[in-house]
Structure 1
């Protein structure tokens, strides 16, 4: 189990640059990381780490002056979680003044229901020490995202912004989340738009998740997402939208 950082000139063909395995973190497994280029030119990789023998998750940070040097950086825990809550899957942005982080938080009070999740918001002056501000988005009871929500990407415009998020109605939809849209006017609390997913696969069970976007210099954008195939497997896909 490892996280891999890869480089591409066109957003389609990638060459692996760095691989960091679970043993570096003393973790049982690793999930979605966040790769960040800081305003002062350094590179950070925030890694979701599973605590062995438990349902607990935390986020560890690797930092280096180049992407290649992340391979030899020493991890430090920046989001430890608690005895009653696991924290993972960070999305991180810098608004020109401070850092913002959105992470999925899973309550651990019921060992058979740790897949439940909300998205919580935190800020930081340095991207290392974080202050939690509360729930950015929770599922809507009785709706397609009732079981849990997880931010996949966030776009900020001052205090306003929008997010694409993964949602599921039941525990059975774990790993087959679909994507919804949420908006914010204050940068703190997001509101889901509509009462159905914005995006889903054409193939049952219709999973489409982890949507992310990279802006291009020409004003276009390249989108990446994970989707369910006709045979039930998942694959990473990309689409280019012109400006």
Structure 2
């Protein structure tokens, strides 16, 4: 069995950071593989605080999963948002593309999620906007991860309590279900941080995938508010009630550079087995780049005749 866990040393840069230094980030990817083998990606482009924050969701395609060509952008002005965070790109049962966008309410710590739907990537920026997770005065909702399981849509979102000023970085992952991917019902808390652990301050599920008949997830975690934006990746497994439980006492993946950020993993299962992974990683200068790596299933050795 091979788990979709990043190794960093085997990765290449799919999209370079937009500039040098902390706050210049590209990442928070969501990638899908079409039936004809084309990779379609949505990822966030961000500038430092005071210079625009999350500027746009970039839409791009690739034939090899490594070299992407940008085809369109959805800017924060499209939603009247102060900043954009992680998108989710999915294909509907009808073969259309649906883009979920995390939007920041100007002048507040509140977030909500909108959706756009179109036949092609190029048409998404001008598609009608539908609010699917509004949040409320007590909760910010963002960073959706979506899986269709038969007729049921599942969504895991990071939810930030807004009850204590200057502590809005705290987060849990909440689970939602839907018959159509537009009208969602809260199904409970999927993952919480662990007191005294490296993930105590907050946890954000980044990818969900089947492993030996049950759901597994990677998640972004941090111990303190100071580690905001430099989360590292952990592994969790779900019980029969859909509640995930973290594995181990340490992250399973992190950057080798200062800050150690390795977050927002997107897992693409390959038809022939194995995975292609995408994630946002911290460079030596503090900028974040979009990296990808290929994990192939091990091939048993052929005994000598």
SS in structure 1 at match of 2:124? helix
After TM superposition, give the deviation of residue 97 of structure 1 in Å.
Answer: 2.1
C-alpha contact 1:148 1:167 (8 A) present in aligned 2: yes
Summarize the Cα distance change of 1:95–1:159 in structure 2 as closer, same or farther, 3 Å threshold: farther
The 5-angstrom pairing of residues 83-232 of structure 1 reads 83-156=137-210, 160-186=214-240, 188-232=242-286
C-alpha contact 1:200 1:206 (8 A) present in aligned 2: yes
The residue aligned with 1:80 is 134
After TM superposition, give the deviation of residue 241 of structure 1 in Å.
Answer: 1.3
The residue aligned with 1:49 is 103
Deviating 4+ runs (over 4 angstroms): none
Equivalent-residue separation in structure 1 for 2:231 and 2:117 (angstroms): 31
Give the alignment's TM-score, normalised by structure 2: 0.77
Higher relative contact order (CA 8 A, sep 6+): 2
Summarize the Cα distance change of 1:224–1:60 in structure 2 as closer, same or farther, 3 Å threshold: same
Aligned: 1:10 with 2:64: yes
After TM superposition, give the deviation of residue 185 of structure 1 in Å.
Answer: 2.8
Equivalent-residue separation in structure 2 for 1:178 and 1:123 (angstroms): 27
Task: Give the gaps of 5 or more residues in structure 2.
Answer: 1-54, 298-305
After TM superposition, give the deviation of residue 242 of structure 1 in Å.
Answer: 1.6
C-alpha contact 1:180 1:197 (8 A) present in aligned 2: yes
After TM superposition, give the deviation of residue 207 of structure 1 in Å.
Answer: 1.1
SS in structure 1 at match of 2:207? strand
After TM superposition, give the deviation of residue 219 of structure 1 in Å.
Answer: 1.2
After TM superposition, give the deviation of residue 158 of structure 1 in Å.
Answer: 9.5
C-alpha contact 1:160 1:187 (8 A) present in aligned 2: no
Residue-pair matches, total: 243
Task: Give the gaps of 5 or more residues in structure 1.
Answer: none
C-alpha contact 1:95 1:156 (8 A) present in aligned 2: no
1:114-147 CA distance string (max 9 Å, x none)? 0000000000001000000110000001110000
C-alpha contact 1:55 1:111 (8 A) present in aligned 2: no
The residue aligned with 2:89 is 35
1:77-114 CA distance string (max 9 Å, x none)? 10000100000000000011210000000000112000
Equivalent-residue separation in structure 2 for 1:178 and 1:242 (angstroms): 23
After TM superposition, give the deviation of residue 4 of structure 1 in Å.
Answer: 0.8
SS in structure 1 at match of 2:137? coil
Equivalent-residue separation in structure 2 for 1:187 and 1:15 (angstroms): 41
Structure with larger Rg: 2
The residue aligned with 1:235 is 289
Moved more, 195-204 or 120-129: 195-204
C-alpha contact 1:204 1:230 (8 A) present in aligned 2: yes
Summarize the Cα distance change of 1:156–1:242 in structure 2 as closer, same or farther, 3 Å threshold: closer
After TM superposition, give the deviation of residue 66 of structure 1 in Å.
Answer: 2.1
Equivalent-residue separation in structure 2 for 1:187 and 1:209 (angstroms): 26
SS in structure 2 at match of 1:31? coil
After TM superposition, give the deviation of residue 159 of structure 1 in Å.
Answer: 7.2
